[in-house]
Structure 1
Amino acid sequence: MLRLSLHYSLRTALTRTFRMPHARVSRSRATTGNAVLWLLFAGMVLLTSCGTPETLIKHKTPELPHQFSTNYPIDTLRHTGRVSWKDFFLDPALIRHIEDALRVNADLLQASARIRQVKAAYTAAGGALLPSLQVRGRTGGDRFGRYTMTGVGNFDTNLSDRIDDKQRVDENFTPEYYLALESSWEIDVWGRLRQQRKGRRLEYLASEEAYKLATTMVVTTMAELYFTLQALDDEREIIEKELQLQREGLEKTLILKETGRTSELAVKQFEAQVLNTEALLRGVLIEINAVENAINALKMQANQPVDRSPDFFMQSMDSAVVLTTPANLLFSRPDIRRAELLMKSAGADVMAARYAFFPQLMVNPYVGLNAFKSSLFFDPASLAFGVMGHMVAPIFQQNQLKAGLRFQKARYEEAQLEYNKTIVNALNEINTHLVAFDEYLKISRLKESEARTLKVAETVATQLFLNGYASYLDLLTVRREVLRTQLDFVEATLQRKVARLKLYRALGGGWF
């Protein structure tokens, strides 16, 4: 580390002012000194810049496709990514659950704490560009030997007839009293501090995008659990109704057995069907309890009832449809904006690491009181001020600085790859959920038609069985298929809603 210091004080100014006979000599020396300083400065810059590696920052964004595999043009894709979740969801109970979760969810609180941390780092980086100011006070004393420069100087000073009694120095013990305001300011000549501040600012903005992403995850997770709970409620209701019909069928089969119109085998088959359906009902109750606990966990509570709207099939999320463009489609996503900001922040850190190879210019002014007698400390003549400038250039730190630059460049490359990966994942997510939404819509319609058809078949099979024109196996098979199809219809409807929900999240989740 090479240090070059420039010092200017009031004493120097007075000396140059009152030494009139030597004015020309002083000017000549000053001119020569300035020339030497500029030569030293240029030499330091040249010496350090020769060892500065070249910084290349290149980035190429993945190309956007013209359309998805579902034949939806990307520039006319109908989506709800710009709609707030309060407008996207129409269920008042669901909205209340989401609001409760957003107030107390641990992930959001952690994201909020992260924002405060990065904001503090950004404030600190901005403060590095400004001068620091501190109060410094010191007191002490020295007894200088008579054969030292200071001791001889004090002795000679006391013999002078040009000083008064206040200026005479105690030769046995010389105290010193100092109290001043001191400042330190690094002049950001090359932009290193500005790049560091830029990097922290971009990290702060990225933390805000991370908070938005966490909010979207909480909203969509709560909605998915809520829809699952509603679907399980419908499945429970379907199973309970079917179980009631099966029990009635078992009673009728027992009557038919007593009249000799059917066998014990038919009775046992009906009993087995009832037991199987009861076990199925117990499994659904277990799932309902698990989903309720998951909802309570999002709300940071335990063992609380979860209210929900009873009608699962009548609620729709297909309203509030808007158009978008390819750029808006992707860059309305908080995760993409976060990845982009982190990449730019890493790029700013690369530039700051490169500028660390150049000399640093520091200025240190001060103003205060300085005296060697306590009785003279507050005398106006004890006022002292000055300014010192120094320049620090790294000479034997090249390996350390180069290692730091390589580290920052590797971070930038990692952030660049993460940014590109996030864009590609976003495109695939949109395509996946868009296809799923379309296909599950078709599946739910098919299952609904199948359920209606099998219901008619069940009625016919029941009448034929009671009249002796069909076997009990035919009736059991039809009823089993009816139950399966009804449950499949509920599951397809749930998956359609979940696909729509995930598509909403993939398109930005309302953070346009």
Structure 2
Amino acid sequence: MKLLLIAAPLLLASCASIPLEETATSHQLATTSSWWNEQPQPNLRSWWSSFNDSQLTRLVNLSLQQHPSIDSAIAAVRGAQAQRQVTQASLFPSLDYSVSTSSNRTWNNGNDSTTPSFSTGLSASWEADLFGKNQQELLASDATVQAAKADFASVRASLAAETALAYLQLRAAESDLSLLQDSIKSQEETTQLAQWREQAGTADSLAADQARSALESSQASLSTLRQSTEELRNRLNLLTGQPPGSLSFASNGEIPTPSNSFAKSIPTDTIRQRPDVRSAGYRWVQAIALTRSANADQYPSLTLSGNLGLSSLGASKIFNAQSVAGNIIAGLTGPIFDAGRIRSQIAVQNAAEEQAFASYRLTLLTALSEVEDALIAARRTQERIVTVSSASKLAKSAADLASQKYEAGVIDITQVLETQRNEITLQRDLVSTRLDNATAYVELYRALGGGW
């Protein structure tokens, strides 16, 4: 068990390239975990390839290309980048032009005359960023862009995991379906034998009724499993951005699982790559920058403006130097009384900053917990696979032996049906446990931020 002190602001500063030295000593997160080490960074970008299943790889890649949520997240990034350009423009002067024409009509001794006049001009203004208000707003916009990119990565990571989980569930349902079909064949043979004995008068109708009841119960379960497989196929179509029925799936009846050696090397900085952790961190950075911007409102602002105009009574004389007029104005403004507006706005931003940090801290702790839970699930389900597999083999042997004894007339139908039920139950438990194991690895990859 190794204790790690994660200095959150320093971590964020390294990610966002935004100076946060002033807050670096004010917040620290103490976390403990048993899985941190200093091994090289594993490649999590395309973790689904570790399952060695070409259909899974095809479906995940298709979902990352075709699902509408990807387009939506990309549009959000573009919007944040455009807004950042808007904010950056405030750091530079603005320059406008104007062109106008007018005419004066006069009457003198019955004579009507019209005198045209022309004017053109340039005006410029610039607010000097004396106390960094605009610069802090630009830093906040930078953080917003990075958060949008992290949200895009989060969409990719989640979509890859959800597609993999749906695929694994489909394979498990197909395995269940195959097992149940084999079990129904055995039950049909048992039911036929019980009916023959009833017709021969060597057994009463109770045995035949019990056999038929067990058979019909299994057939009902078969219908439920078929429904589940069809629904999972539709879900995979949805996750890959396709209409229902568009994709074809070759059934292989096996649940793919990755190598479990991955869980043995998770580096200390892996948690930083989780997109939701990065997004929450950038939101905190944004809140800090906006707080600094609000603080700058307490101080004076310097605005420079100027005008350059040309006017003339004739279009041909518009650029005559005698018609040039210009001025430059410098204005210094600052708050005197605002009924507490600035102070209240600073308090609002301080509260928003505290909320953003609390959200970041919760996201980080949640990430640590999810990794720990996924590692535990991967380890424990692997242990269960061994025991359930052994029990399933023993149950099959018992069911085969019970059928032989029933055919020989040594035991009654109740024992046969019981061993058959136990066999199919354990076989399906084994499928379920294998699904749980594969699911644990998918959740581990998702918890580590894989998929982007």
Task: Compute the TM-score of the two structures, normalised by the length of structure 1.
Answer: 0.77
Write the distance in 2 (CA, Å) between the matches of 1:454 and 1:305. Answer: 40
Q: Which residue of 1 aligns with 2:53?
A: 91
Cα deviations across residues 396-426 of structure 1 (Å, max 9, x unaligned)? 3352222221221111111100000001111
Quote how far apart the aligned CAs of 1:493 are: 0.3
Q: Which residue of 2 aligns with 1:116?
A: 78
Write the distance in 2 (CA, Å) between the matches of 1:400 and 1:127. Answer: 26
Native 8 Å contact 1:180 1:369 kept in 2: yes
Q: Which residue of 2 aligns with 1:158?
A: none
Quote how far apart the aligned CAs of 1:81 are: 6.3
1:137 to 83, 99, 117: 99
Write the distance in 2 (CA, Å) between the matches of 1:422 and 1:100. Answer: 29
1:223 to 164, 171, 181: 164
Identical-residue share of aligned pairs (%): 23
Q: Which amino acid aligns with 1:197?
A: L
Cα deviations across residues 166-212 of structure 1 (Å, max 9, x unaligned)? xxxxxxx9986431222211111111000000000011011001100
**1:454 maps onto 2:395 in alignment:** yes
What aligned pairs does 1:207-356 form with structure 2 within 5 A after superposition? 207-304=148-245, 306-313=247-254, 315-318=256-259, 321=262, 323-326=265-268, 328-356=269-297
Native 8 Å contact 1:80 1:507 kept in 2: no
Q: Which amino acid aligns with 2:96?
A: Q
Quote how far apart the aligned CAs of 1:314 are: 6.5
Deviates more, 1:313-322 or 1:425-434: 313-322
Quote how far apart the aligned CAs of 1:319 are: 6.8
Q: Which residue of 1 aligns with 2:32?
A: 65
In the alignment, structure 2 segments of 5+ residues that lack a partner are 1-21, 106-113
SS at the partner of 1:316?
A: coil
1:387 to 328, 337, 352: 328
Native 8 Å contact 1:235 1:490 kept in 2: yes
**1:197 maps onto 2:138 in alignment:** yes
Q: Which amino acid aligns with 1:215?
A: R
Native 8 Å contact 1:62 1:424 kept in 2: no
Cα deviations across residues 121-150 of structure 1 (Å, max 9, x unaligned)? 11111111011122123455899xxxxxxx
Quote how far apart the aligned CAs of 1:374 are: 5.3
Write the distance in 2 (CA, Å) between the matches of 1:314 and 1:355. Answer: 60
Quote how far apart the aligned CAs of 1:474 are: 0.5
Write the distance in 1 (CA, Å) between the matches of 2:155 and 2:279. Answer: 12
Write the distance in 1 (CA, Å) between the matches of 2:320 and 2:48. Answer: 71
Native 8 Å contact 1:465 1:475 kept in 2: yes
Write the distance in 2 (CA, Å) between the matches of 1:409 and 1:276. Answer: 64
**1:466 maps onto 2:407 in alignment:** yes
Compared CA separation, residues 370 and 393, structure 1 to 2 (3 A): farther
Write the distance in 1 (CA, Å) between the matches of 2:349 and 2:104. Answer: 50
Compared CA separation, residues 308 and 90, structure 1 to 2 (3 A): farther
Write the distance in 1 (CA, Å) between the matches of 2:45 and 2:213. Answer: 50
Q: Which amino acid aligns with 1:298?
A: L
Cα deviations across residues 407-461 of structure 1 (Å, max 9, x unaligned)? 2111111110000000111111111111111111111221111110011101110
Q: Which amino acid aligns with 1:276?
A: S
Cα deviations across residues 369-391 of structure 1 (Å, max 9, x unaligned)? 23466563232332334422212
Native 8 Å contact 2:96 2:123 kept in 1: yes
Native 8 Å contact 1:363 1:389 kept in 2: yes
Native 8 Å contact 2:277 2:364 kept in 1: yes
SS at the partner of 1:108?
A: helix
Q: Which residue of 1 aligns with 2:9?
A: none
1:484 to 425, 431, 442: 425
Native 8 Å contact 1:102 1:218 kept in 2: yes
The alignment's C-alpha RMSD in Å is 2.6
Q: Which amino acid aligns with 1:451?
A: S
Alignment coverage as a number of residue pairs: 423
Native 8 Å contact 1:80 1:504 kept in 2: no
Quote how far apart the aligned CAs of 1:362 are: 1.3
Deviates more, 1:278-287 or 1:311-320: 311-320
Runs of 4+ in 1 over 6 A off after TM superposition: 55-58, 173-176
Q: Which residue of 2 aligns with 1:107?
A: 69
Native 8 Å contact 1:59 1:416 kept in 2: no
Write the distance in 2 (CA, Å) between the matches of 1:276 and 1:80. Answer: 48
Native 8 Å contact 2:392 2:427 kept in 1: yes
SS at the partner of 2:37?
A: helix
